[in-house]
Structure 1
Amino acid sequence: MAFFQIALGGLVALLLFATVIAKLPLRWWWIRACEFPRLQLASAALVAALLALPLGSPWGWSLAATGLLVVALQARFILPWTRLWPVQVKDAEPGQTAPCISLLIANVLTPNRRAAELIAIIHQHEPDLVLTLESDAWWQKHLDAGLEAAWPHSVKIPLDNLYGMHLYSRLPLSDTRVEWLIQDDIPSIHTDVTLESGDTIRLHALHPRPPAPNESEETLWRDAELLLIGQAVHRTPMPTIVAGDLNDVAWSRTTRLFCRISGMLDPRRGRGMYSTFHARYPLLRWPLDHIFTTEHFTLVALERLPYFGSDHFPILASLCFRPSRSDEHDTPEADGEERAWARTTIGEASVREQKT
């Protein structure tokens, strides 16, 4: 029993440490990584609290209270991405069909060779736009064969460094640019998309480097890329979608700041987490693949699609272009201090050399 109490105390202390340290405004990858498993930390803390209660001693009650404190602190971040919270992007009117746009995102996992399964998923759902990430020359060959006939407009960046990117579109693309925003081996796609109605919207497709061992010891360069796009969206008041594997969770400090800097909305809020990574480990999942919109859109549907061999599930969003309903949305907004922080982060990332 003594060993059990000590082990339980160590677990609760570790959970509290991970919860508190994630609040520190530091960029080391192992600190920022504590922002990812908030649901898992809260679940473990709840189990620990329930195990501590039967101990019936001041020690047990202290452990239970600490566990419940961890649950409460984590719930503050988790709840907006559950159905207990108001939706941030309003639902489209029933029967609304135009002008609408659907976008499918799939991080393919470069060594994965189950391209036929992904192509079958794409043909089943027939999205207007298909964005693939980690797609190299092998993936381009198979995607071209399966998609070019029906998705004739495309942007192709085949790379073998895990940051290849391909965009296939049924809709015309214009003013298309491939940019290397912060690091010279990390591409991004920026393009205008003409809807069937004739309206034009802007799409930014991103895949910044993750904070992880052998990738980046700090989140500085990932954060700077997101905030740089946030600034661009804020400066250009046109209907915009930002999409991609952002290597960050929806509730992180950086992603929430990105939304305030840009004024963009998260269709997940009030609907669920729609966790896309890790596809093979159900207990270790969080939302890494994102679709953000400006206030000009309403949501028809949001769906996580089936497994096709990657470590990510694809995700599909169907949106309606409804600028007349913009005032129904509560648009987030950054204050002066947050905008200064964003400028400092971008400036530092542009001059510092990354260490891995």
Structure 2
Amino acid sequence: MRPSPLLTALFVAGSLACASGPAVRPTLSSGATPVAVASEPARDAGALRVMTFNIQSGLRGLEQVAAVIRQEGPDLVALQEVDVGSTRAGGQDQVERLSALTGLKYRAHFGTTTLYGGAYGIALLSRYPLESLEQYPLPTPKGAEPRTVAHAVVDVDGREVSVYATHLIRRPFNGAARVRQSAFISQLMAKDPRPRLLMGDLNDDPDSRPVRLLRRQLQDVARVTHADRTGTYPMPLFLRSLRIDYVMACGAFTPVSTRVLRVGASDHYPVVADLRLQPAKAPQAAEATAAAAP
């Protein structure tokens, strides 16, 4: 959606989400898309490649979005600003279409609002089956666009991994709301004993309160891999790009590398991260570690 001149002026103070609409109850659609058999990328045990990508409802072409994803070969992709059945999307299910175009067979769309006659929200694409799908509405100011956090469980080399995806409330002027949303996500993840990943458009700077709050239990993978100087949202003219899209991982993962892809498939740049899932501790070793803790 093209912002009005007034919103464009406000946008200089921070990034804006591209849609708003009447609140509806969160909806979930998921499935497996029949895709052509493709050779799986070679991965060492425990290796995982993930991507987060705000696709701007595919306004610049889903084929461009799919080409970027295919080129990187991720195992998991978190998508934001995704349409299913809207007139803007020509009635198509953008998640199913991207699943077919990328070969990532498993998909889920987590709708947060109705927009242009269809469901609008966030999504996951995966090389692995998506299990235990859940969705939680985030605390949002009255009259604002609904936001959500999605949760799925995937099996990585025989170990369950929790994948969380979100898109926090837009900037500017909503810092307090993003703090509440980050707190909700932190509390939710703190109850999860599995290795945990969080991906999405957090709509805030790396040293903002919402991001710092999430860093209490998660690593900012770009920061750990010294790739945190590249923005993910290009600003006009002389203004510096904003880094508002994140891959975050708990201590069960070792961050290996991060790349921000400077492509024109959307108004955001996607972020790709390579991670290594550390071997699970043997029960005796885990008990000994717990006993030795002060």
How much does 1:252 deviate? 1.2
Aligned pair partner of 1:200 in 160, 169, 178: 160
Change (3 A) 1:252 1:170: same
Change (3 A) 1:230 1:115: same
Counterpart code for 1:210: R
Instruction: Assess if the C-alpha contact under 8 Å between 2:96 and 2:107 holds in 1.
Output: no
Structure number having the greater strand percentage: 2
Aligned pair partner of 2:63 in 112, 116, 123: 116
Counterpart code for 2:67: A
Aligned pair partner of 1:141 in 77, 93, 105: 93
CA distance in structure 1 between the partners assigned to 2:132 and 2:43 by the alignment: 29
CA distance in structure 2 between the partners assigned to 1:108 and 1:201 by the alignment: 25
Instruction: Assess if the C-alpha contact under 8 Å between 1:244 and 1:289 holds in 2.
Output: yes
How much does 1:269 deviate? 1.8
Any gaps of 5 or more consecutive residues in structure 2? 1-9, 16-41, 282-294
How much does 1:185 deviate? 2.0
Count of residues paired in the alignment: 228
Equivalent in the alignment of 2:133: 176
CA distance in structure 2 between the partners assigned to 1:174 and 1:232 by the alignment: 17
Where do residues 39-54 of structure 1 align in structure 2 (5 Å cutoff)?
Answer: none
Where do residues 163-242 of structure 1 align in structure 2 (5 Å cutoff)?
Answer: 164-183=121-140, 185-195=146-156, 197-212=157-172, 217-242=173-198
CA distance in structure 1 between the partners assigned to 2:264 and 2:59 by the alignment: 9
SS at match of 2:181: helix
Equivalent in the alignment of 2:26: none
Counterpart code for 2:251: E
Structure number having the greater helix percentage: 1
Give per-residue Cα distances to partners, 1:192-239, cap 9 Å, x unaligned.
1111x1111111111011232xxxx43222211111111222233321
Counterpart code for 1:235: K
Change (3 A) 1:311 1:235: same
Matched, 1:291 2:247: yes
Instruction: Assess if the C-alpha contact under 8 Å between 1:297 and 1:323 holds in 2.
Output: no
Matched, 1:160 2:160: no
Instruction: Assess if the C-alpha contact under 8 Å between 2:58 and 2:65 holds in 1.
Output: no
SS at match of 2:269: coil
Change (3 A) 1:282 1:292: farther
Matched, 1:267 2:221: yes
How much does 1:241 deviate? 0.5
Change (3 A) 1:323 1:224: farther
Counterpart code for 1:115: L
TM-score (normalizing by structure 1)? 0.58
Mean CA deviation greater in 274-283 or 249-258:
274-283
Give per-residue Cα distances to partners, 1:122-167, cap 9 Å, x unaligned.
1111111122111112296344234237222111135538962121
TM-score (normalizing by structure 2)? 0.69
Equivalent in the alignment of 1:256: 212
Change (3 A) 1:223 1:163: farther
SS at match of 1:277: coil
Counterpart code for 2:187: Q
Which of the two has higher C-alpha Rg? 1
Mean CA deviation greater in 103-112 or 296-305:
103-112
Counterpart code for 1:148: A
CA distance in structure 2 between the partners assigned to 1:172 and 1:247 by the alignment: 29
Instruction: Assess if the C-alpha contact under 8 Å between 2:83 and 2:94 holds in 1.
Output: no
SS at match of 2:68: helix
Equivalent in the alignment of 1:39: none
Equivalent in the alignment of 2:39: none
How much does 1:267 deviate? 1.4
Change (3 A) 1:189 1:121: same
Instruction: Assess if the C-alpha contact under 8 Å between 2:233 and 2:242 holds in 1.
Output: yes
